[in-house]
Amino acid sequence: MNPYLKEYEWSNIAAMLRNNKAEPKQELEDLRGRLVVITGATSGIGYETAHLYASHGANVLMINRSKEKSELLKQELEDTHQIQCTYFLADFSHLKEIHAAAEMLVRLPTPIDVLIHNAGVYNTKLKFTDDAIEEVFQVNYLASFIITYRLMEKLKGQEKARIIYVNSEGHRFALAGLKLDDLRWQKQHYTGLKSYGSAKTAQLLSLFSFAKIFEGSAVTINAMHPGDVKTNMGENNGKLYRFFKHHMINPKS
C-alpha cells in the first residue's frame, strides 16, 4: 500500500482542492514609495507576488537562495515596473543565514510596509539541516518565526506594517497534531505530508501568539491559503504528487 494513502484522507483532500480556482483579482492601492519584503521570490507564488506589488509601485526587497535568479528578477522588476529592487542572499536551511537575514532587516533605515513569508520546502524523505533540525520544520516554520520575532520592536515602532504568512490548508495533514516531543521524527513514521502539515501548524500557532503581541499596535498579521498552486516546491517527489499538480492553478492566476 502506498504510504501516502493514509495521509490523503478525503476531508483533507477536499480542503486542499477547494481553492483550486482563481479568485477575482482585486486592485491594490498605490504603493509608490512603500517597501515590500518577500522571501523565496524567484519562482512560483513569490515571483508573481513580487510582480504584483511592483506593478503598483512598491519597492521590493527579496530574500532568496540563488544569486543568479535574484539578479535576473531584480532587472526584470526594475525594467518592467520602474521600481527599486534589491535582494539579500540567504539559505533558510542554515540558521546562521536566517539570523543574518533578520539582522539585515532590523538594520534597514527605512520602514518595512509589508513582510511576506513565502519561502518553503517539501520533502518526502526525512532530511536534517546542518543545524540538526528537520529541514521542512526549519525552512517553513523556524525561518518565519525568527525573522518576525527579531522584527517585533522595529515593526511596532512604525506607523503601520503588515505581515503575511503564506500558509496552507495542508496544515491539516498533521493528523495527530504537532508533536513537540518528537521534532526529529524518532517516534513517528515520517512522510512529506505530515512534516509539511506539522510545520504549517507550528507557523499558525506562532502567528496567533504574535497577533497577541501586536495587539494595540499598527501591525496586522495574517495567514493565507493560496489554493493549490503549481510551484517548484516538491516537484521531484513522485508520481502521486505530480498527479495532484495537474489539478492545481498557475501562480499567475
Return the DSSP state at 252: T
**Confidence (pTM):** 0.82
pLDDT recorded at residue 249: 47
Question: C-alpha grid cell for residue 189?
Answer: 513514521
Are residues 245 and 7 in contact, defined by beta-carbon separation less than 8 angstroms? Answer: no
| Catalytic machinery residues | 196
- Could you tell me the mean pLDDT of each successive run of 10 residues in the chain, 253 residues long? 48 54 67 97 94 97 98 98 98 99 98 98 94 97 98 97 88 70 88 86 94 96 71 51 51 50
pLDDT recorded at residue 251: 46
pLDDT recorded at residue 75: 98
Question: What is the CATH number assigned to the segment(s) 31-245?
Answer: 3.40.50.720
DSSP letter string, 73-142: HHHHHHHHH---EEEEE--TTSHHHHHHHHHHHHT-SS--SEEEE------SS--B-TTSSBHHHIIIII
- Cα–Cα dist 141/199, whole Å: 5
Phi, psi of 90 (to 5 degrees): -155, 135
pLDDT recorded at residue 195: 84
Closest CA to 95 of 119, 128, 130: 130
Phi, psi of 154 (to 5 degrees): -60, -50
pLDDT recorded at residue 194: 86
Q: Spell out the alpha helix ranges (H) of 113-249.
A: 135-137, 143-156, 192-214, 239-245
